[in-house]
Structure 1
Amino acid sequence: MIIKKTFQNPILPGFYPDPTICRVGDDYYVATSTFTYFPGVPIFHSKDLVHWEQICNVLTTPEQLPIPNGSPENSETSRGIFAPTLRYHNGTFYMITTNVSDELGNFIVTAKDPRGPWSKPYPLGSAGIDPSLFFDDDGKCYYCGTQPRREGAKYFGDNEIYIQELDLETMQLVGESFPAWHGALRDMEWPEGPHIYKKDGWYYLMISEAGTAHDHAISIARSKSLFEKFEGHRGNPILTHRNLGYSYPIVNVGHPDIVETQNGEWWMVLLASRPYGGDYHRNLGRETFLVPFTWEGGWPVINPGKAIVEDQGIAPDLPLFIPSPVPAREDFNNDTLPLHMMYVRNPIKENYSYDKKESHLSLKCYTDLLSSYDTPTFVCQRQQAPSFKFQSKLSFDPASDTSKAGIAIFQSQSYNYQLLVSKKGDKSHIQLIKVEHDNVQTVCEKTLDNFYETLTLRLIADQQDLYFSYSCTGSDYSDFVQIGDVQNGRILSTDVAGGFVGTTMGIYAETGDSSADDWAHFDYMEYVNA
């Protein structure tokens, strides 16, 4: 008896939304959205579609990823980079996306090697969001995007999917744009996330509809020409979980991209969420899932016989790929951050140092707060499971009593928790701060019996119950004292906080004194799923 390999969804757990995929030979590459986090647009590599290794971040300079400070409209955590598309053509990789926070708008960057370096951005001046690229058999390239209906939108989200030729020499759109499709259902809002594919003489246009929340769905249309009317499939939507109810463990499926393997199998990557902790709370954000499909009668059939995304499935018929593991603990022994760690908005690089204390990452206490729309001194990584442990060891002896440092779990500037250490006279002072709906509240504070230059800070999440604690002994794994009562993690879900991002946690430093020169030294960050 042949035992087939299985795989576990999501293939990219945590805040990795809007996946896009391309194949080059027997190598597969996936990229995802990052919004106002920096660097932007991670790329992952695989050979089996199941196990993935991050190989780069595409947008690594302020020129490629300009995010303004201080603007509730443009600096909000869920602004920035929307929905990339990754494609390969004639020896060059193309990544096209939208920066909704800057006049750069829709732009392209290119690279000969997916690991980079990636080029300067080429702004396109095109309208709307969610741009995609399609390379036809004759070598011509076409832009496909989303914008409000040209004849006038009847309501917010009344969009059209449009196509226009792109001149790769000038990186400019040429000719007239064509309104290819308005989606599968009448009065359906937010047809978006388009991708074009060609198969058996047909051009296929696959999109998402109904927004990226619970009603999210995937629909498809086809045409014999890029500039003739696309006809929707009578079986649309070809995939949705909205009919499965709010208690189903995988929800809001959508925003797909597809790939054919070298063995002739077809697979789809898409986003979805995993609510947990009772009711409907999606702290992990939108994650990347994998689902098989086949073609029948000229149309795709998703996960035949089931038509849903499952948490486990039969793996692709591809050789096993073993990626380099991401260590649970980052000891800051190198002079660069690992690829999976991020900043909020464009970092002020002078506020981060590997030289202040050996084998530590030092953060300068800065006046931009985590609860602001500015540039806090904050290094973070994604939450990847409902229950986890996160901790860091801090060495901190500030001169200003307004300087604070510690750990935080962050959904946005408007919803987060912070466990911060400061100096009160000759003693250490600890505060647990909750930011909810922009209201900053100290929920618990404690002055210790002595000054402890080194403290270990810990957060344990048991589903939606958050436990914050500290240790004065210098031990990494014992003698922890809980501070405050159990806190409610539900405020960190998109269902409470809004927006499009998932939760991150990291290390942070702040001050209320602009003349202060206080630095917090972090020995490590450790994240372990329970």
Structure 2
Amino acid sequence: MLQLQIQVVPWSEPYWIEDCPGIDPSLFFDDDGRAYITGTRENTNEDGTQGEQVIWLSEIDLVSMRLVGEKRNIWGGALKYCASPEAPHLYKKDEYYYLIIAEGGTEHYHAVTVARSKILFDDYEGFAGNPIFTHRHLGKHYPICNVGHADFVQLQNGDWYAVMLASRLINGYYKNLGRETFIAPVVWENGFPVISPGTGKIEWTYPAPKLPSKITKPTLSRDDFDGEKLGMNWVFFGTPYEEFYSVSDSKLIMRLLPRSMSPTLQKIDISKTIIDKSVPSLSFIGRRQQHINYEVSVKMLFETSSENETAGLIVMQASNHQFRLERTFEKGEQILRLIQCTSELNGYPHQPNFKAVTTEIELAKVAVSSMDIILSVIATGQDYSFYYSLPDEDVTLLYEDADARKINPEIVGGMVGTLIGMFASSNGKESQNTVEFEWFEYNGSGVKSEVVQKGEAVGKGTTYEFL
């Protein structure tokens, strides 16, 4: 019997590569085992002025983690002075080295282009058929846009595929889902790749490749927190450098940390590097929005006698673009309120000098006495309706049709998608209080959950269509 031994190697601390400019670095391993790195940089003209952006290549020593030899410019993109040639990936196929890059910028004019060379450190020859993939010619009404940043993979059966970044649109040119990963088949013709042959655009479905079957554990739409740890579909906001949650007795228990979900109350400098452990954790656990229409419900047990303490359900595109359905204490009573947080950016996209002016609006508020409460949101395109339910009571509509365009990336000025999750905060003060979540349900299939079915009389009775 064959026994397979797998050694699990932990991640190392980051290595900072000196004199390695630009963005989107990518490693390439040649047949002889030597390693190379490609990246982007601004070219320097003969007169010393800054020129166009180009793709460069250098050998890298993986023992010393240093660049070796010359950093050579190898290509400037398919179009002369093209916008943002970036995301380089090198592949070796047959007698050629192929360089796949993105150009045109990461928004609507994003594209995938290719060049090749028989010599690794040489000028790469662009393909006459470039771009080999883009959706920019389909206009702003096509439901998938911003296609680019392709990476190629060859399966064990010999088939080729490309994985790319793109965005789905929701009710106009709005991208609440952010940039997502798409896949399309690739064939090679006359020495160059053809992506999604026959149509030239990302299709909603493709035939599955003929590969050995593998049983994978499906991601559950409902989490009752029955295990000993959280599933892989849960994410944090940044790296949690302190333990603020536990899973036990079929409950997710979260501490109220001082860092606030509200940017208007935030007193913490979070502009430090991503590995600075002095940046405090945010008591947030969420999952990604994956559907244009969806509904989320969560059962929470929480009580407080402090106006600083809040906990609840949050729909968050960025730290200052969010809807918070939160439980707190105000003027001697327990309340539930819906907060809309948005900001206007001055100077975007000329980062990093833009400034944000953040405002928060209380859209709805109601007194609640029970410690147990079910919080829900139903998203139909850009219309978000918020509900709550107390023990032995029907579901009640708190606020109908909040405008989700106010928290989408077109206004935020970013590229990430929306997160829906649970949070707990003491808003600048130390607290020993905790909140318990009994279950969390995300439904993006169009089938109404049991919680929302109870409140059918107060809902809109919408017919759901999902991509």
Q: TM-score range by the shorter chain?
A: 0.7 to 0.9
Distance 2:424 2:181 in 1: 32
Change (3 A) 1:139 1:379: same
Could you say what secondary structure the match of 2:107 adopts? coil
- Match among 420, 440, 452 for residue 360 of structure 2: 440
Alignment correspondent of 2:162: 268
In structure 2, what residue type is equivalent to 1:345? Answer: G
Residue aligned with 2:25, SS: strand
Query: Structure 2: how far apart are the matches of 1:385 and 1:259?
Result: 26
**Aligned residue in 1 for 2:95:** 201
Give the aligned partner of residue 464 of structure 1: 382
- Does residue 514 of the first structure (1) align with residue 429 of the second (2)? yes
Cα contact 1:249–1:274 (8 A) shared by 2: yes
Cα distance in structure 2, aligned partners of 1:127 and 1:336: 39
* Aligned residue number for residue 294 of structure 2: 388
Q: Which runs of 5+ in 2 are unaligned?
A: 264-268, 271-280, 344-357, 447-467
In structure 2, what is the equivalent of residue 307 of structure 1? 200
Contact 2:44 2:50 (C-alpha < 8 Å) held by counterparts: no
Maintained 8 Å contact 1:403/1:513: no
CA distance in 2, matches of 1:233, 1:424: 65
Distance 2:335 2:328 in 1: 5
1:370 correspondence with 2:370: no
Deviation at 1:487, TM superposition (A): 0.3
| SS at 1:295 equivalent | strand
CA deviation profile, 1:126-169 (whole Å, cap 9, x unmatched):
211111111111111111111222446757xx421111001122
Q: Within 5 A, what are the aligned runs for 1:210-359?
A: 210-276=104-170, 278-354=171-247, 358-359=249-250
In the aligned structure 1, how far is the partner of 2:127 from the partner of 2:428?
62
Structure 1 residue 252: Cα displacement:
1.1
Provide the residue aligned with 1:505 in structure 2.
420
In structure 1, what is the equivalent of residue 460 of structure 2? none
Query: Is the 8 Å Cα contact of residues 312 and 422 (structure 2) preserved in structure 1?
Result: yes
Q: How many residues align?
A: 409
The C-alpha deviation readout for 1:379-429, integer Å capped at 9, x for no partner, is 111000011111111111223232111000000012110000113466420
CA 1:327/1:422 → structure 2, altered by over 3 Å: closer, same or farther? same
Residue 455 in structure 1 maps to residue 373 in structure 2 = yes
Q: More relative contact order in 1 or in 2 (CA 8 Å, sep 6+)?
A: 1
Matches for 1:457-496 after TM superposition, within 5 Å:
457-473=375-391, 479-496=394-411
Shift of 1:264: 2.1
Task: Return 5+ residue gaps in structure 1 as ranges.
Answer: 1-90, 92-111
Q: Cα deviation per residue 1:91-115 (whole Å; 9 max; x = unaligned)?
A: 9xxxxxxxxxxxxxxxxxxxx86x7
**Deviant stretches of 4+, over 6 Å:** none
| Cα offset, 1:479, TM superposition | 1.6
Q: Secondary structure at the match of 2:313?
A: strand
Rounded Cα–Cα distance in structure 2 between residues aligned with 1:308 and 1:162:
29
Q: CA deviation at 1:309?
A: 1.1
**Native 8 Å contact 1:411 1:504 kept in 2:** yes
Asked if 2 retains the 8 angstrom alpha-carbon contact of 1:424 and 1:447, the reply is: no
Structure with max Cα Rg: 2
Task: Report the Cα distance in structure 2 between the residues aligned to 1:342 and 1:173, rounded to whole angstroms.
Answer: 34
**Which whole-Å CA distance do the structure 2 matches of 1:166 and 1:371 have between them?**
44
Task: Give deviations 1:305-352, integer Å, cap 9, x for gaps.
Answer: 221111122222323444210111122233422112111122242332
Q: Residues 146, 371 of structure 1: CA spacing in aligned structure 2 closer, same or farther, 3 A cutoff?
A: farther
Code of the aligned partner of 2:260: L
Compute the RMSD of aligned alpha carbons.
Answer: 2.1
For normalisation by structure 2, the TM-score amounts to 0.83
Helix, strand or coil for the counterpart of 1:371? coil
- What amino acid does structure 2 have at the position aligned with 1:452? S
Q: Displacement of 1:460 after TM fit?
A: 0.9
Query: 2-side partners of 1:140 and 1:353: how far apart?
Result: 45
